[in-house]
Every structure is written in structure tokens, then in C-alpha cells.
């Protein structure tokens, strides 16, 4: 079976343009000079008529409207079988509230992430009699949709911003931040929209993959500070930057991967400008800069 991945949203939280940001990228996007991007999400299928959405972004209504393969096929019938969330960040779970219209599907997550959702009663809008909650243990394969076996695994990260305390561990290994391995009879793909560090376990998992969607939040670690838009580095936010000796471009050089796609890019990231030097450098290193609507087949 052919594995198809549709990039629903390529941007990090806030999208491009971000509603309250006047940075260079946001102004260019508002002017239509570079492509706008919605917030982080992909959809996958192996059959074409059974789909799973990975991360329910706040923009999911627009994303599904723009994706014909996800449109209803009858009055209340559509090819969405499952939603899987990789962490409890707002840009990955807020869209669940849009999917509250008594539509049956299975919501997959680790127990740690389900606990975060349960602690906020607003998510009870997803009627438990209609939406099945499936708690998935790490490193345990399960059937995501027909033809695709998925496995969740821990990646270095942190708890969601709204759960941070006085001290924050940004390379936490556990159920709060996970990657997803996706396998069909003929392909092996990975979705990792948030990652603070490419450790040895990740290197071993990813080497030889047909496709990897990977955290592209920032080009450089102090990007937000240099732009005058914040005081946090990428590492403080739990994200590995693209450039530099400790960046993802350098870290992936020794890995053999069919297609490498950056996703979850912050509105400040210069790779979002197609004519930028940074965009050219990333592409020269074999990376695809994700864009809304992009479909990749393995």
C-alpha cells in the first residue's frame, strides 16, 4: 500500500502570519509575498479512504475544508477515522474542540496526554459515547487506520507552556512529548513536530526511514531574542534549531533518510521566505521546507 502524507499545517503555534506579530515574515505573508501557513498538523492514509490526523491544530476546520480527501462523503460520513496528538500543546489539541460535532472517531494519545485533556473539562465537549479515547503505551505498535501501524516513542521535550512550574526541564523523556513511527507494507515514516535534541535512540530509529517530518521551529537558537519578539531560546522552548553545530541539519547528515521535511516552523524562521539564504541552505542539505497542502508519497 502506498503511504500518503498530506501536510495540513506547516507552521508552529500562531501560524503565519501570527495575529499579533509585525515581523518581516508576517508582514510579507499578509501582503501575499510569501505563502501563509496554518498551524502544525498532518493527515496520513494508506488506502485513500481511511485517514488519520496527527495533531488537531486550532486551524483544523480550515485545513479540512481545503483538503478534498477529508470532505464528507454523506450527510455525516467522512473518511476521518482517527486523531492522534503528540503532546498537550495548545497548537496540537485546541482543534479537538472544533471536532465536537458528535462525529465518531478514535482519539489516540499516551495516558499522560489524555490526563492533561481530562484535567480540563472543556474537552468533555468531545462526547465520550461518540469519540473513543485510546491510551497508547510507548513503544507498543497499534493499528492507527487500515494499512498503517503506528508506534509512539518518547523524544526529548517539555510539558506544555500552561503546565510549566518554576523550574522547567526542557529535555524531559516521557509521555508528554512523543514522536510517531508510521509503517505500511512498503514504507516507514516518522512524524516528530517537537524535539529538543537528537539523541542516540532517535538516531537509531530514524536511520533508513523513507520519510521524516521533523521539528523546524527556529533557524537559530536565539532567533526570537534577535528579532526582539521574546526572551526565550529555542532550547528553552524545547525545540532543536535547524542551523549550527548542534542543529538538526548537521545532526541528520550522518543518517540515511529518503525524504526529510521540516514542519512546525515559527513565524520568525527565515526558511519560510523561499528566496532566503537560509531556505537555500536547508534545501542544499537535502531538506524539504514544508508548506500547507503539500502531499508526499512513499
pLDDT in tens, 8-26: 999 999 999 999 999 999 9
How confident is the model at residue 234, as a pLDDT?
A: 78
How confident is the model at residue 197, as a pLDDT?
A: 92
For residue 230, what pLDDT band results from cuts at 50, 70 and 90?
confident
Alpha carbons 66 and 48: distance in angstroms, whole number: 16
Domain of residue 239, residue span: 4-297
Least trusted range by pLDDT, from 153-167, 179-193, 240-254: 153-167
CA angle 166, 170, 173 (to 5 degrees): 120
Domain count, the chain: 1
Q: Which residues contact 274 (CB under 8 A, 6 or more apart)?
A: 34, 35, 289
Using CA of residue 15, residue 180, residue 119, residue 51, what is the dihedral sign? positive
Q: Read off the pLDDT of residues 25-45 as tens digits, 9 standing for 90 and up.
A: 999 999 999 999 999 999 999
Q: Domain of 265: which CATH number?
A: 3.60.15.10
Alpha carbons 21 and 229: distance in angstroms, whole number: 9
Amino acid at each position: 500500500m502506498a503511504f500518503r502524507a498530506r501536510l495540513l499545517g506547516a507552521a508552529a503555534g500562531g501560524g503565519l502570519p501570527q495575529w499579533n506579530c509585525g515581523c518581516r515574515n508576517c508582514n510579507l505573508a499578509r501582503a501575499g509575498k510569501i505563502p501563509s501557513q496554518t498551524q502544525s498538523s498532518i493527515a496520513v492514509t494508506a488506502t485513500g479512504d481511511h485517514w488519520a490526523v496527527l495533531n488537531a491544530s486550532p486551524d483544523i476546520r480550515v485545513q479540512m475544508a481545503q483538503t478534498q480527501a477529508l470532505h464528507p462523503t454523506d450527510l455525516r460520513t467522512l473518511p476521518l477515522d482517527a486523531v492522534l496528538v503528540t503532546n498537550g500543546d495548545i497548537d496540537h489539541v485546541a482543534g479537538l474542540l472544533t471536532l465536537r460535532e458528535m462525529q465518531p472517531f478514535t482519539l489516540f494519545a499516551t495516558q499522560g496526554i489524555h490526563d492533561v485533556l481530562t484535567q480540563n473539562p472543556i474537552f468533555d465537549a468531545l462526547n465520550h459515547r461518540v469519540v473513543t479515547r485510546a491510551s497508547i503505551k510507548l513503544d507498543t505498535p497499534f493499528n492507527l487506520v487500515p494499512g498503517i501501524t503506528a508506534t509512539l516513542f518518547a523524544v526529548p521535550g517539555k510539558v506544555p507552556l500552561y503546565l510549566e512550574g518554576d523550574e522547567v526541564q526542557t529535555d524531559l523523556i516521557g509521555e508528554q512529548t512523543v514522536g510517531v513511527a508510521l509503517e505500511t507494507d512498503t514504507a516507514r515514516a516518522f512524524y516528530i513536530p517537537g524535539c529538543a535534541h537528537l539523541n542516540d535512540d532517535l538516531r537509531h530509529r530514524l536511520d533508513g526511514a523513507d520519510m521524516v517530518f521533523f521539528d523546524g521551529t527556529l533557524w537559530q537558537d536565539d532567533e526570537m531574542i534577535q528579532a526582539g519578539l521574546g526572551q526565550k531560546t529555542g532550547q528553552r522552548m524545547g525545540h532543536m534549531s535547524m542551523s549550527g553545530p548542534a542543529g538538526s541539519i548537521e545532526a541528520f547528515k550522518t543518517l540515511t533518510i529518503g525524504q526529510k521535511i521540516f514542519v512546525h516552523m515559527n513565524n520568525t524562521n527565515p526558511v519560510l521566505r523561499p528566496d532566503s539564504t537560509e531556505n537555500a541552505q536547508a534545501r542544499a542539505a537535502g531538506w524539504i521546507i514544508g508548506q500547507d497542502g503539500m502531499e508526499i508519497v512513499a
